[in-house]
Amino acid sequence: METVSTSKAHGGTLSVHAHESAATGTKMTFSVFVPPQAESGAKLPVLLYLSGLTCTHANVTEKGEYRRACAEHGIVFIAPDTSPRGEGVADDPAGAYDFGLGAGFYVNATQEPFARHYRMWDYVAEELPALVAANFPVDLSRMGITGHSMGGHGALTLGLTYPERFRSLSAFAPIVAPGQVPWGHKALGGYLGEDRAAWRAHDATALVEDGKRPAGAILIDQGDADGFLAEQLRPALFAAACEKAGVDVTVRLQPGYDHSYNFISTFMEDHIRWHAERL
């Protein structure tokens, strides 16, 4: 594992690392914030943050404003990239932002030419936690997951599928029902093929309908001025499925907030506290 950069923040250490991934067959980059409580030698709870379309690890690292809250609550914060990258990695042939590079959708692709590298599900669920545990003072029995937009989709689907691994779960403006919105139709169709039954394993609303349950309650924040709300995000679909299934979900519609990191950074401290209370 290569250390790309390291710096001090809020008494802890922020660092960026690169490594050769067995899951994706490419070099992957992620950032880590280790709070000052690590100096005691204790293993700390860890929170994975999954970013949205077009993002890398750098977006939340630079704009997420999570370090002070993580330092206060003793949370290790991990931010991976959103897709494999590098020479030979397939991209959207038209260069669109919502498929291919920067838009891995946190699935294991089965369709060529994406199946070779686009294995973000395995990377986030298996490889990255193991790598972090081998190199940082974390307790994987106290691991939570959150994310934004496409990353909120990934957080919800991974959290619902592996409640024994992800003990706390939240999301910012997630794509809650990709099987019912244009972003999801393009991504799931392109990565997984046209059999929509296979999409259900990567659709949070469908997972709840099919009996999957989180480890505990779910927190979702959504801005009501988000330009993607009506067509792509549709949190009411997930809320309705959870209500029917008896899943404890809180969906907070935040007046005046959009889809940007101005929104995310405003409510990041609430989410860090939410996870800290459960981890």
Catalytic positions are 149, 226, 259
Q: Which residues of 116-135 are buried (b: 16+ CB within 10 A; e: fewer)?
A: ebbbbbebbbebbbebbeee
Residues 175 and 147 sit within 8 Å (Cβ to Cβ): no
DSSP 8-state assignment for residue 28: E
What's the number of CA atoms in the CB half-sphere (13 Å) around residue 1? 18
Put the strands of the sheet holding 12-20 in their side by side order: 2-9, 12-20, 27-34, 76-80, 44-50, 138-147, 166-172, 218-223, 249-254
Pairing of strands 138-147, 166-172: parallel
Q: Which of 185, 156, 134, 135 is nearest to 48 (CA)?
A: 156
Q: Which of 80, 82, 78 is nearest to 187 (CA)?
A: 82
Q: Where are the beta strands (DSSP E) in the chain?
A: 2-9, 12-20, 27-34, 44-50, 76-80, 138-147, 166-172, 218-223, 249-254
Question: Cis peptide leading into 255, omega within 30 of 0?
Answer: no
How far is residue 146's CA from residue 91's CA, in Å, rounded to a whole number? 26
Amino acid at 276: A
Q: How many CB atoms lie within 10 A of CB 144?
A: 27
